[in-house]
Every structure is written in structure tokens, then in C-alpha cells.
Structure 1
Amino acid sequence: MSKLLVRKTWRFCGIIFPLVYYFESKRVTLIAVLLFLGIFLLIELLRFTVPKLNNRLFIIFRHFFKETEKKGLITTTTFLASFLITVLLFRKDIAITAMLFSIFGDAASAIVGVHGKKKIFGKSIEGSLAFLVTCLVIGSALALTKIRLGPAVFILGAFSATIIELLPLHVDDNLTISLVAGAVMSAMSKFL
């Protein structure tokens, strides 16, 4: 299995948080996210204070890490931090939708984007289209559940998540996707 597929399969484990939030309260969800974030922050602290441990972790888990993560935060840490903030800031239906956009949209973008030919801002248009379509499918599927965001709300959320993933910002998109999508959907739900 390629390194990219291993990384994205690992990311799918993040579905536990929107699932917990769907069935449980905000409090229970925050505890779950904080527990995992705390574990990863402890790992980060140990990695940066014990260089040999950092090197060893990168050998053992080489399929899970990007080379750039050796000297910076592991993307799972920023991913969990964004979920914590998303759950804190947004109402339940919006937070769940935004988290699912981040989990599945980003994975679709990466998996399809690897094979893409047309680039914009260093990312493939095909990957961005896969991101958008995935988010639109998620929004439509959620309409069949107790999460009933209006089509205009989740469509604008999907477009905003796609744009923030595409733009060459100097901020990890694992942090920004769910937050931007959540903010846009939250604002739009007030008007629609």
C-alpha cells in the first residue's frame, strides 16, 4: 500500500469524532477529542525534547508521516486541534458536517490529485474537484439523517472548504478546512 493511502486510511479513523458527536453530547465529544489531542500533544512534546525518540518514531511510523513533519507538528495534531475548535464554536449539525468535509474531502483530493495533470497553486484541479464532489455527496447524504442543513448551506460550505484546501496558504489545511467550512455554514444558516 502506498504511503499516501496509508496516511489517508489513518485519517479515516477521525470519523470517530463526528460519529461520537452525532450520538452523544457536545461535552462527551469534547472529552473524546481532548483525550486524543492530549495524547498527541504529549507525543509532540516528547518528540521535540528527545531527538532520538523523534528519529525512532519516524522509522517505525514512516508510512504515516510526511518528511516535513519530522521538524514540525504531526498533521494529526493539527487535525485534532481543528476538530476541538470546530466542536467548541459551531452548532452540532454544522460541526459534524465540517469535520466530515475535512476527513473525506481532503482524502479524496489527495488520492485523486496524485494522478491529476492540470495544476493551480501547485495542486491538481482534478483533486480539488474530487474534494468538492465528496463534500457535496456528504452534505446530500447527511440530509437523509437528523442533520438537515439546507442545500445552500452545505453547498457553500463545500465550496469554501474546497477553496481553502486549494489556496496556497501558509497554514496547515488540516487546521483550516473544518474551521472555514464551519464558519461559512454557520453564517449562511443565519441568513437562509
Structure 2
Amino acid sequence: MQPVDLKKRSDIHYARKIWHMSGVFTMFLAYVYLPPAVSMIILVAAWLMFVPFDFLRHKYPALNDWAVHAFKPIMRQSEVKKLAGTTFLLSGVLIVDILFPRQIVALTLLFLAFADPIASYFGILYGKDKIFGHKSIQGFMAAFFVCAALTFAYLLYHNYLMDRLIVVSLFAGLVGAFAELIPIGKLDDNLTLPVMSAVGLTILFYFFGFFAIVG
């Protein structure tokens, strides 16, 4: 393989963050505004197009070389010899889409779209106080504020839990922040963040009677 200068995890990598936020937010819009069956078909099709290809490129050096050069603007150095973050992201979203209620899936997609890249941005620039590996208190706080704000806006827009809006939003912020922070073995956070967020939000919303209201 010809050497390619790719970004590392410790780099801010603006192109990747823009790609991540715009891509996942597009998934959110498709999930919310398209019929459930259509959005599921699109998600499964995306998984089938990308994930098998991601596995195959590691078996065929020429294919991997082409992929690395083709996706250079959004690819990390670590992904040359490992599965791409997109494989874990699509898998995580598919699991959440199958297992959880629509409101949970929608909010989880918003967390995935914005909390992870913004937390990473603040963590790289200001993350002096490390917690787990490269994770920092500064990144954790950024994820908390983003997830709390997203939950507040989502619940307010749909007129859900208005008498407990601030409290639920703050707890949801903690759910998203801890999902972004806590490592699960060596699993990629593009997989663990949506799954852990969906589990945490389901428990939180059940506790506050959300499903009795929308059900």
C-alpha cells in the first residue's frame, strides 16, 4: 500500500466531524419524516453496502488501498488496519432502531450526531483532566450540555413532559455524557454510545412516566 497521511484520534479532524454530524443528522431526518418501513429499508441497505465492504477491504490489499485513498478526508490512521467507525455506527443505529421505541431512537440519533463530535472537539482542545484514556472532564461536560440541550429542545418541540422538562433534560444530559465517556471493553464508541444512550433514556423516560403519556 502506498503511504497516506491520515489524521489521528488526537487531531481535531474537522472534515470527519462535519461528515459525522451531517450524516447522522440526515439519518435522524429520514427516521422522523419517512415512513418507518422506508427508513428501515434505507438503513439496512446502507449497512449492507458498507459493512461487508469494510470487512472485505482487509482481505484484499488493493481494495483497502483504494478505500484509504478514496475516503482519505474522513478516515483515521487507525482505520487502515481496523474496521471503520462507520461500520460500528451503522450497526449501533440498526440495533437501536430494531429494539427501542421511536422517540428513544430519534433522541439517540441526535445524541450520536452532535454529542460525540462536540465532546471530542472540546476534549482535544481543552481536555487537560483525563478520566478514561483520552476521555476528559472537559469533553464529558461538553457532551452533558449538548445532550441536555437536545433533550430539552426535543421534548419542548413535541410538548412532552412539560412539567418535568428541565429535570428530565438534565438527567438525559447525564445519560448521554456517560454513554460517551464510559468505555465498554475495546468496542468503538460509535457502537456503544447509541446503544447505551437508548438503554439509559428508556430507563429514565419509564421512570418519569413518558411511555404512559405517549402510549
**Fold-level similarity (TM above 0.5):** yes
Deviations 1:113-144 (A, max 9, x none): 11122221132211111111111111111123
Map of 1:160 onto structure 2: 175
1:7 alignment partner AA: R
How many Å separate the matches in 2 of 1:68 and 1:36? 23
Q: Show structure 2 runs of 5+ residues with no match.
A: 1-10, 209-215
Map of 2:56 onto structure 1: 46
2:33 alignment partner AA: F
Map of 1:184 onto structure 2: 200
Q: The residue matched to 1:40 in structure 2 has which SS?
A: helix
CA-based RMSD: 1.9
Q: In the alignment, does 2:132 pair up with 1:121?
A: yes
* Count of aligned residue pairs for this structure pair: 191
1:9 alignment partner AA: I
TM-score, with structure 1 as normaliser: 0.90
Q: Percent identity?
A: 28
How many Å separate the matches in 1 of 2:194 and 2:179? 10
Please list every run of at least 4 consecutive aligned residues from structure 1 whose deviation after the TM superposition is greater than 6 angstroms: none
Deviations 1:135-181 (A, max 9, x none): 11111111232373664444333312211321233211110111111
Structure 1 residues 158, 3: closer, same or farther in 2, change over 3 A?
closer
Map of 2:7 onto structure 1: none
Structure 1 residues 181, 53: closer, same or farther in 2, change over 3 A?
same
2:173 alignment partner AA: A
Q: Given the alignment, which residue of 4, 9, 32 partners 2:18?
A: 9
TM-score, with structure 2 as normaliser: 0.81
Contact kept, 8 Å, 2:129 with 2:138, in 1: the verdict is yes
Contact kept, 8 Å, 1:99 with 1:178, in 2: the verdict is yes
How many Å separate the matches in 2 of 1:47 and 1:3? 26
Q: The residue matched to 2:141 in structure 1 has which SS?
A: helix
Map of 2:4 onto structure 1: none
Q: The residue matched to 2:74 in structure 1 has which SS?
A: coil
Cα distance, 1:106 vs structure 2: 0.2
How many Å separate the matches in 1 of 2:142 and 2:102? 25
Contact kept, 8 Å, 1:75 with 1:174, in 2: the verdict is yes
Cα distance, 1:25 vs structure 2: 2.9
**Higher alpha-carbon deviation: 128-137 or 17-26:** 17-26
Contact kept, 8 Å, 2:140 with 2:181, in 1: the verdict is yes
Deviations 1:16-37 (A, max 9, x none): 1211121123222211111111
Cα distance, 1:8 vs structure 2: 0.8
Alignment of 1:29-108 (within 5 A): 29-108=39-118
Contact kept, 8 Å, 1:156 with 1:184, in 2: the verdict is no
Structure 1 residues 61, 147: closer, same or farther in 2, change over 3 A?
farther
Larger radius of gyration: 2
Cα distance, 1:45 vs structure 2: 3.4
Q: Show structure 1 runs of 5+ residues with no match.
A: none
How many Å separate the matches in 1 of 2:67 and 2:159? 39
**Higher alpha-carbon deviation: 65-74 or 39-48:** 39-48
